[in-house]
Structure 1
Amino acid sequence: MRAKLLALGMALLSVAAQAQVPSPSPTYNANERFEQLGPMLPTPNTFRTAAGAPGRDYFQNRADYDIKVELDDANQRIIGSETVTYFNNSPDELRYIWLQLDQNLFKNDAMGALSRTGSINQNGMSIGAIQSLNTGRGATLDKEKPYGYNITKLTDKTGKPLRYTINNTMMRIDLPTPLKPGQNYVFNVDWNYYITEYYGRSGYEFFPKDGNYNYFIAHWFPRLAAYDDVSGWQNKQFLGGSEFTLIFGNYRVAITVPNDHVVAATGECQNYKQVLTPTQQKRMDQASRSKTPVVIVTQAEAEAAEKGKPTGKKTWIYQASNVRDFAFASSRKFIWDAMQTDVYSNGRKIWSMSYYPKEGNPLWGQYSTRAVEHTLRSYGNRTFEYPYPVAISCHSVPGGGMEYPMISFNGGRPEPDGTYSEQVKAGMIGVIIHEVGHNFFPMIVNSDERQWTWMDEGLNTFCQYLAEKEWDYNFPTRRGEPQQIVDYMKADKSLLVPIMTSGENVILLGPNAYAKPATALNILRETVMGRDLFDYAFKEYARRWAFKTPTPADFFRTMEDASGVDLDWFWKGWFYGVEPVDQDLVEVKWFQLNSQNPEVVKAQARAEAERRANTISKQRDAATRNQTVVAQDSTMRDFYNSYDPYAVTDADRKQYNDYLSTLTPEERTLLESKQHFYTLTVKNRGGLVMPVIVRMEFEDGTDSTARFPAEIWRFNDQQLQKVIATDKKVVQWTLDPYYEIADIDTENNSFPRKAEPSRLQLFKQQQRQVRPQNPMQQQQRQSGASPATQGSGRN
């Protein structure tokens, strides 16, 4: 009998061992999935180490700018001149330098426009075709205006003309003599261009009711391209999609605008005393000591400026140190509120500011500046303290947002009556968090946006997701939860490319570069690594690469180096592949140890025999059981008519006691535990290997969750078997019960299978309806309250 017990134990071990045997399937590639990235990553060198940190020879060039610019409000035009000092910190001799001319995106012959596709059918033009005709990134352009840069002068510091060549959105300056390592070069550029309608990154918004413009001016001056150890010159053309690859420098910018305009810009204003009224200066002083936003320029003042006419010009002077770019916004319509607070409780105060027209109230006056401050705190706690003196949120067109150092252009606009839907409110707060958060990625952790969109958008979207939850526990986050990426993960393969794809070549950029990497990081934090290990490693990455330019390999290596977790399988699956997660709980087999106790064994056998004997025929024959021959004639009975095969005999008891005497204490404990053993068979139908998480619901109504790392697939990436022992009987098994791994098919996650009802709806012809009121409008209509009295926008 002892042999039977041990035999069962060996059988269980055998089942477990069988799960490790590689599948003979020709598509089996578990070893490949779990081998190191190896040649897929660049070889470590003295510029970038194998640990993912900057090496001893790491370098980055820089450029300092002294710019004078005028905003021509009458013609929507920029006129500028700049003196640039370029520092060659590389070990290489440079015979030429490259500048970015991003406004050339809007020229008629621009590559960005000519490479757009679209069609015309009986219903009209597609959006792509219209954008191709208009050029640019969806902006509507005035055909009478020659958009793009007009370079009027390019000289060295002595005024001598320089030779240059413009190639679409790039300009090469040929240096008179090679620029040697450690040297700098000074040159001057004068230029002008016509401002486009706001197209998502920069431009103007026109307000027909009052005839005024809000200007959001970005990628507006010739800027140095990056030269580094990875790409040499990063002079890929700007096609309107992938953003900017830039280098750090110091800026002094004098911005001349109509004298009734309010200007917000990167950096700190150097002449508030000359551009603000005494009353506004007093408000500024009050804001510097306030923990809540104080209005600097009121809505009444902005409305008065809307109706007036400028009587001259005014120059705002801004200065910014160690930034990679410079942007500004200007309008006579701007309301401006601010507060200067000790964000990190370390004694250093940071300005949080918002600029917005009256069309943004009451939402902007109530939420924008507070959301700015919250973003700095949330991001700073998981990366590094925000190093700049100010962070600004400007209200641009209703949708979308765009980021620059210390300033961002954000959407989110209430209805004209001042009401708004919850979606608009959450969207506004979310976009402010996202765009202000870009100060950390990529404005400080300065990744190459032109090549790796996900390195700023994905990491930033992940931090946005966490900041939104810290803003409101029930915040309706759009990206970050694994369930929210499922539709993309199971989309047609022709629409999918790996995250490790240049942003210009991605079809579904939002899901690919924003949502999927953000979800991957959330899964790493919650399921694969755990919060403590992840948070430490993520913060170390941010610390290592603040004010430097990391590559994907630097991120991957740092996350592993600082956590001690091998994640190559994860980077391969989530970042280099397009396979989805689909785990299928195919079967669960139930085993119990045979106790050998005759009282139990025979009672179970009796019950099973009675259950099997209870057929439908037996049930119907019971009515005539006394009419059988044996029942009516006792001479037809013998020993077997009274024999009970399930009765426990003295011999049974002796045999059981003899068996118990042979067991060790450990075996006796195992026998008395009455444990249940289950063999789970799980298939990997999606291809992407992930941890296996299984919830067990017990017969007594309680439950428990077992977690197994992704390495459980390392010997067979298609199917595994796992033995689980429990003290109680399991009545329901569920894979991924908390929706952690982005499984694209949850119907095959249960065993026994749970029926999912289809929704049956009565068919009725739907009539086209007018746009419904938002709940705020509905309540106000019912109560008779005036929308103008609602909200908390401040004047």
Structure 2
Amino acid sequence: MTNKIIYAFFFLACLAIGKSPAQNTSVYDYTEAFHPIFYTQNGTPYRSASGKPGHAYWQNSADYAIKASLDDLSDRVTGQVSIHYTNNSPDQLNHIWLQLDQNLFHENSRGQAVLPLEDSRYGSSDSEFSGGFSLGNIRFEDGTEAKYEVIDTRMRLELPKPLQAGGNSITFKMDFSYTVPEYGADRTGILTTKNGKIYTIAQWYPRVCVYDDIIGWNTEPYTGPGEFYLEFGSYTVDITAPADHIVVAGGELLNPEEVWTSEQLSRYKQAFQSDRTVLIRSAEEVAKASSRPSKKTLTWKFKLDQAHDFAWASSKAFIVDGAKINRPGGRPALALSAYPVESNGNNAWERSTEYTKAAIEHYSKKWMEYPYPVAVNVASNVGGMEYPAISFCGHEAKAGNLWGVTDHEFGHNWFPMIVGSNERLHAWMDEGFNTFINEISTEEFNKGEYRRRFGNRNSMARAFAQPGLEPIMSTPQNMKERNIGILAYYKPAFGLRLLRDEIVGAERFDRAFRKYIEYWAYKHPTPDDFFRTMENETGENLAWFWRGWFKHNWLLDQAVREVTYDNMDPKNGALITIDNLQKLPMPVVIEATTESGAKIRKKLPVEIWQRNKSWRFKLKTTEKLTKVVIDPDNVYPDVNPENNVWPKN
């Protein structure tokens, strides 16, 4: 998920922060920073101390069969869902919890109650829209009527008899319907265009909560900020919509011959073979009745496997184009884009398929092969939101903004669609990881067409040093909304780039990061699983880094205290004393300039701070030094760069 609000919060935060106050007295405590105990529990049969899933790792699964219809006169979705739930846990289950996310839009929901009076991306406290699910005919496979209780955005379903452990399963079904909100917390909604409404449909059916070995049933209410935590399974979805609509979804279209015109079907098949974007329905054709079959309704049939959610979009206003996605394993996939004529032209959505294809191909080659048959990008009034194999992005985005949001949302297919972390509790494990991989993909796209020119990366330290800023390892519900951009996206991404480029090294880091993805693909990792994997794969004890950067909001302030010469003679070398003034330790990079203009660099490992607040070392030189600088490349998040220079300004 991303949108303009998050970027605005981040940059406003940067502007609001002045210079950090100068400090000469150290508050650094090396016994705390390098305390030997970081993990609160040992490895278990379910989760190895090495960071891998344990030999007895388990997770439950949910397979969905859904038949739904869209009424574009009442803006209402109606359907029936059948859920086949498998209990692979070692526990007997007496009930099942489900998520009812549309209940967020009920006027009496907890999410509505906690909306601030000021602007929020999750809605308005004075909204007159009152939505939520209508549920009925809730029965088990044998026809037995189910007992259940709806509590805000959750449902507790009582089982007729205990569901036994070890792979036993149960099937239940229910009817559901709801009115689609025009602005659904920036995740789902309706965009009105001159050729018709665009419906972006998500969080639209009852979904099973995760039952895991960490906290059992994960029933954190949906209030807007926290995203999702869902079980993996398969989806078969039939969507009936007006025949003048085109439906796109995050799944393989099973009946293209029934829903495209003959000309569109030919172009659709051509797109599967083309590295260049192929128009399936052009802007000129959108307003022509002949560009859609002459029927009242059509049913679009989709299938998706190894996924934990399903989303779709429908409109009679869509321009549609597509191209082939090349995957390392040789199996092609299809990139599709659906957008209105208002979004077409001037370096805007006509490049969406190019961007989607490039992003998917990059991540497939760099980290892990993309698993889904399609990647669909939809222009909507959702600023940026991801679901398996489909993304909703702002219809007004163009050029670098459209690349950025497209790249980000499709990067989410790796975090959390493949690596299924708990977004409701640990937003940084998907948003931060994704922002990190986005930076690398942007550097490579089209020879750096939209490469971000950071200049002084150290300038970001101003935002990270805000007084009262919560730690990264806070839940999104537990952060000020204005801080979510910093804490879920930018600070964890900055930390991973720091770890990769300055602490571990790119080759070792990338190898370990790929292993983390491999180990936890289609599984549910926790923060400790990530930390342990990175340590075991790189061979580094990184507890000091996790503790200071993720668990706490510790600051970095390195300083040059003194420069002298051995036996007072420059020919014998320089003696440099540096201090660690704040609580966060980091490696130190020193650059010294001699009288002749020569530059000498020295990198000191973080271990110099394991038992010291200050460190004195010798720099080999035969000349006087005219300048000594800590962090000459401005890549470390030092909150007081002024004391990084000798002689002092």
Tell me, yes or no, whether TM beats 0.5.
yes
Task: Check if 1:455 corresponds to 2:438.
Answer: no
Equivalent residue number for residue 19 of structure 1: none
Matching residue's letter, 2:177: N
Q: What is the CA–CA distance in structure 1 between the aligned matches of 2:414 and 2:310, rounded to whole Å?
A: 15
Which runs of 5 or more structure 1 residues have no equivalent in the other structure?
A: 1-24, 119-125, 135-139, 415-423, 595-673, 755-795
Residue of 501, 518, 528 corresponding to 2:474: 501
Is this contact kept in 2: 1:42–1:553, CA < 8 A?
no
CA distance in 1, matches of 2:546, 2:136: 48
Structure 1 residues 736 and 340: alpha-carbon distance in aligned structure 2, compared to 1, 3 A threshold: same
More helix by share: 1
The corresponding residue for 1:581 is: 556
SS in 2 for 1:722: strand
SS in 2 for 1:187: strand
Matched, 1:736 2:631: yes
Q: Deviations over 1:669-693 (max 9, x none)?
A: xxxxx84422222222332111111
- Could you list the per-position Cα deviations for residues 27-75 of structure 1 after superposition, in whole angstroms to 9, with x for gaps in the alignment? 552022112343x433310000000000011011111111000111001
Indicate the residue corresponding to 2:338 in structure 1: 355
Post-superposition Cα deviations, 1:56-96, rounded to whole Å, max 9, x if no partner, equal 11011111111000111001111010111111111110000
Does residue 439 of structure 2 align to residue 465 of structure 1?
A: yes
SS of aligned partner of 1:395: strand
Alignment-derived partner of residue 195 in structure 1:
180
Does 2:573 align with 1:677? yes
Provide the secondary structure at the position in 2 that maps to 1:443. helix
Letter in 2 for 1:218: A
TM-score, normalised relative to structure 1: 0.75
1:746 aligns with 2:612: no
Q: What does the per-residue CA deviation read over 1:314-334, in whole Å, with 9 as the maximum and x for residues that have no partner?
A: 110001111100000111111
1:531-557 alpha-carbon deviations (Å, 9 max, x no partner): 111011101101100111100000000
State the Cα distance separating 1:297 from its structure 2 match. Answer: 1.2
CA contact (8 A) 2:339 2:379 kept: yes
- Is 1:66 matched with 2:45? no
CA-CA distance at 1:722 after TM superposition: 2.4
The verdict on how the C-alpha distance between 1:196 and 1:457 changes in structure 2, with shifts beyond 3 A counting, is same
SS at match of 1:726: coil
Amino acid across the alignment from 2:404:
G
What is the CA distance between 1:742 and its match in structure 2? 1.4
| Deviation at residue 287 of structure 1 after TM alignment | 1.3
Is residue 9 of structure 2 the alignment partner of residue 36 of structure 1? Answer: no
Q: Within 2, Cα distance between the matches of 1:478 and 1:201? A: 30
Aligned partners of 2:124, 2:380: CA distance in 1, in Å? 24
Shift of 1:697: 1.6
Query: Cα RMSD over matched residues?
Result: 2.3
Matches within 5 A, 1:115-514: 115-118=114-117, 126-127=118-119, 131=123, 133-134=125-126, 140-142=127-129, 146-181=130-165, 182-198=167-183, 199-207=185-193, 209-210=194-195, 212-304=196-288, 312-344=296-328, 346-362=329-345, 363-397=347-381, 400-411=383-394, 413=396, 424-471=398-445, 472-473=447-448, 475-477=450-452, 482-483=457-458, 485-491=460-466, 493-494=467-468, 496-507=469-480, 508-514=483-489
| Distance across 2 between alignment mates of 1:484 and 1:376 | 31
Report the CA distance between 1:732 and its aligned residue. 1.1
Residue correspondence of structure 1 range 542-691 to structure 2 within 5 A: 542-591=517-566, 675-691=571-587
Question: Cα 1:520–1:736, aligned 2, differ >3 Å: closer, same or farther?
Answer: same
Cα deviation, residue 377, structure 1: 2.2
TM, length-normalised to structure 2? 0.91
CA shift, 1:567, in A, is 0.7
1:724 aligns with 2:619: yes
Q: Which residue does 1:662 correspond to in 2? A: none
Per-residue deviation at 1:437? 0.7
TM-aligned CA deviation for residue 365 of structure 1: 4.4
Residues 381-431 of structure 1 show CA distances to partners (whole Å, capped at 9, x for unaligned) of 33211121111111122x7200000001012526xxxxxxxxx52111011
**Segment of structure 1 superposing worse, 721-730 or 307-316:** 307-316
Tell me, in whole angstroms, the C-alpha distance in 2 between the residues paired with 1:313 and 1:194. 19
Q: Identify unmatched segments of 5+ residues in structure 2.
A: 1-24
| 2:595 pairs with 1:699 | yes
Alignment of 1:37-116 (within 5 A): 37-38=37-38, 40-116=39-115
Larger radius of gyration: 1
The SS at the match of 1:295 is strand
Q: Number of paired residues?
A: 619
> What secondary structure, in the 3-state scheme, does the structure 1 residue paired with 2:314 have?
strand
Q: For residues 426 and 110 of structure 1, what CA distance do their matches in structure 2 show? A: 37
Distance 1:730 1:64 in 2: 69
Q: Deviation of residue 702 (structure 1)? A: 2.5
Displacement of 1:129: 12
Whole-angstrom CA distance in 1 between matches of 2:630 and 2:28: 23
Structure 1 residue 372: deviation in Å? 1.2
Q: 1:480 to 1:573 in 2, by over 3 A?
A: farther
Counterpart-to-counterpart distance in 2, 1:709 and 1:297: 58
1:470 & 1:252 partners in 2: Cα distance? 36
Which is strand-richer, 1 or 2? 2
Distance 2:57 2:421 in 1: 15
Aligned partner letter, 2:125? L
CA shift in 2, pair 1:478/1:323, >3 Å: farther
For the 8 Å contact 2:562–2:578, the answer to whether it is kept is yes
Is the 1:343–1:373 Cα contact (8 Å) retained in structure 2? no
Distance in 1, matches of 2:204 and 2:395, equals: 24
Contact 1:267/1:318, CA 8 A, preserved across alignment: yes
Deviations 1:497-555 (A, max 9, x none): 11111111012001001100000000001100011110111011011001111000000
Where 1:192 maps in the other structure, the secondary structure is strand
Aligned CA distance change for structure 1 residues 132 and 429 (closer, same or farther; 3 Å): closer
Deviation at 1:712, TM superposition (A): 1.2
* Corresponding residue of 1:780: none
Partner secondary structure for residue 701 of structure 1: coil
Report the CA distance between 1:360 and its aligned residue: 1.4
Whether contact under 8 Å (1:692, 1:736) holds in the other structure is yes
One-letter identity of the residue aligned with 2:632? P
Equivalence for 1:639: none
CA–CA distance in structure 2, aligned partners of residues 160 and 264 of structure 1: 35
Work out whether residues 588 and 681 of structure 1, in 8 Å CA contact, stay in contact via their aligned partners in 2.
yes
Amino acid at match of 1:407: I
Matched-pair contact (CA < 8 Å) for 1:696–1:732: yes
Matches of 1:265 and 1:566, distance apart in 2 = 44
Alpha carbons of structure 1 residues 479 and 320: separation in structure 2 relative to 1, 3 Å? farther
Letter paired with 1:215: Y
Percent of paired sites with the same residue: 37
Deviations 1:587-608 (A, max 9, x none): 21233576xxxxxxxxxxxxxx
User: C-alpha distance in 2, partners of 1:26/1:509?
Assistant: 30
In structure 2, distance between residues paired with 1:149 and 1:435: 27
Cα 1:28–1:741, aligned 2, differ >3 Å: closer, same or farther?
Answer: closer
Sort the Cα spacing of 1:154 and 1:451 in 2 relative to 1 into closer, same or farther, 3 A: same
